[in-house]
Structure 1
């Protein structure tokens, strides 16, 4: 009898979930963002969410829950009802956090989420103080080798994408450089301009105005392709380190167990929003290349970054408590 009751309960739940998926969405959707309001990631998801809300005729709210390397936000979504009404703004930072902390995370980054689609890719750049006598990546590497231990590279806090990109660069280039962590991007850019550090690795978005104003030199971008907004700036890969690539990205994800029809509907809406020329242009102005993906390709991206940055974290010995 107990087995029959259990089977009936499971069947009833399955029918309920199926019906709910067919009617999706029929109420407010919440997207939890592991960053503060006003940042580039927050602005990106708000642009896309606004378009999705209009198309789906349901309100979408953004809940900013920064802290603990994104763990607080991610954990709140991992434990949410898997019905598509609570989503996570996932990023390469989510992949980094999977290996960054000595303590075990309260969720499994790959098993407890269903990635839905990427939203955009954020290029990083290697920036150089104008008084440093280098104009290319090859010259920067040459300078570092000629002056062991004297090259300083600014990034934001240890374990950030910028910081790991710098660690990866020095490792692959075989140079001895001092990587200096700062509290935030404004401090990094100021230090690069004043010469407090010789160079820096920073996301393009906050750096673009000063790059265009000539405050410092952008000698390379870290992505696989040149950034369309700076067509004359080469990639690190084409500048002497052919296998180097470091890209920041963000994506939407749902709790594991969310019905596939719901995932597919959200994926469709994300891609439709990103395809709009005005959205592409607004994101490009922020240094973001709008690009959606399939749930499968987004999960592959997440898994690849977990492996890649885990290796960098181990080699750089920057595990955190």
Structure 2
């Protein structure tokens, strides 16, 4: 019995020794070895939208620089909850990444219970992009400026309305913030998607709308809708002739834009995070990346991990306050 037991121990030892190099090659912890297989990028939106196209454009070049393919995994759902949960529970090995966005920040104030903590469960890597929102009216509207629109809204309290996409979206919360900041009595009307918003706007069902620029630029060029202002801090590159809300209505400090960023599970090794941050920072300076994103009406924008952490924290705080002030029920 003794020799048999010793022989068994010997076989177990040899099997373990043989398996060890395989384990290390599959789960590398050094940036020099990373990556040895494809990397998954979880996107909290469906295929074809601006965030998805941004992720695919950046992911293609990032994959080339890493020497492995970067595969987009679309996990759409309100507030980015499904995508966030997937990444929060993934192995922290650098092979599962998350496309962060405004929705990630909004979810903290919009939902009573979340399967992740955006501040604690993700390691920020870099900002990827920003894109602007606009306050738009029908192409044949009599309003020539945002100031004129606001004057009419104040003269007719509660009568004018602004359409947006779904409750809790950046567009919806931006419209609510505009209402609160302008101290005006207007109705914010959410619709199920951009096409429904544009149909309602052109048919006169709503008086104005707040929408992201990428999906509406073709309609602006066709003059079926007209932007009265952009909602960011500065004028938008695709619409340099259009004033900001601060310029057009005198609402100082008003600044809302959409953004996307890259993050990983919180315990991902620091050297892998540093490698990814460096690669993203360098690729976002490439002319081909800037052009591809500009063609989507998106601005390429990298950051340090610390800057992204600060942005995420400030956005969580800001949108939580807007949700509370606007009286939007938590889901």
Per the TM superposition, whether the score is higher than 0.5 is yes
User: What is the aligned partner in structure 1 of residue 47 from structure 2?
Assistant: 37
User: What is the aligned partner in structure 1 of residue 261 from structure 2?
Assistant: 251
2:182 to 168, 173, 179: 173
2:127 to 118, 130, 133: 118
> 1:210 aligns to what SS in structure 2?
helix
**Greater gyration radius:** 2
Counterparts of 1:230 and 1:68 in 2: how far apart (Å)? 30
CA contact (8 A) 1:30 1:63 kept: yes
Matched, 1:51 2:61: yes
* Structure-2-length-normalised TM-score: 0.89
Counterparts of 1:130 and 1:46 in 2: how far apart (Å)? 33
User: What is the aligned partner in structure 2 of residue 107 from structure 1?
Assistant: 116
Deviation of 1:21 (Å): 3.4
1:97-136 CA distance string (max 9 Å, x none): 011012x211111011011111100100000123433222
1:218-238 CA distance string (max 9 Å, x none): 011111111111110011122
Matched, 1:220 2:229: yes
CA RMSD of superposed structures (Å): 1.5
Counterparts of 1:19 and 1:173 in 2: how far apart (Å)? 52
Query: Aligned residue pairs: how many?
Result: 306
> 1:278 aligns to what SS in structure 2?
helix
Deviation of 1:20 (Å): 3.4
CA contact (8 A) 2:46 2:76 kept: yes
> 1:170 aligns to what SS in structure 2?
helix
> 1:134 aligns to what SS in structure 2?
coil
Deviation of 1:292 (Å): 0.5
Unpaired runs of at least 5, structure 1: 1-15
User: What is the aligned partner in structure 2 of residue 207 from structure 1?
Assistant: 216
CA contact (8 A) 2:43 2:76 kept: yes
User: What is the aligned partner in structure 2 of residue 133 from structure 1?
Assistant: 142
Deviates more, 1:292-301 or 1:282-291: 282-291
- Structure 1 stretches (4+) deviating beyond 6 angstroms? none
Unpaired runs of at least 5, structure 2: 1-23
CA contact (8 A) 1:21 1:83 kept: no
CA contact (8 A) 2:30 2:271 kept: no
Matched, 1:74 2:84: yes
Deviates more, 1:245-254 or 1:311-320: 311-320
Deviation of 1:316 (Å): 1.1
1:28-76 CA distance string (max 9 Å, x none): 1000011001111000010011001111111110100111321111011
- Equivalences for residues 306-317 of structure 1 within 5 A: 306-317=316-327
User: What is the aligned partner in structure 2 of residue 155 from structure 1?
Assistant: 164
Counterparts of 1:285 and 1:150 in 2: how far apart (Å)? 38
Counterparts of 1:19 and 1:285 in 2: how far apart (Å)? 37
User: What is the aligned partner in structure 2 of residue 89 from structure 1?
Assistant: 99
User: What is the aligned partner in structure 2 of residue 236 from structure 1?
Assistant: 245
Counterparts of 2:298 and 2:139 in 1: how far apart (Å)? 25
Counterparts of 2:329 and 2:257 in 1: how far apart (Å)? 21
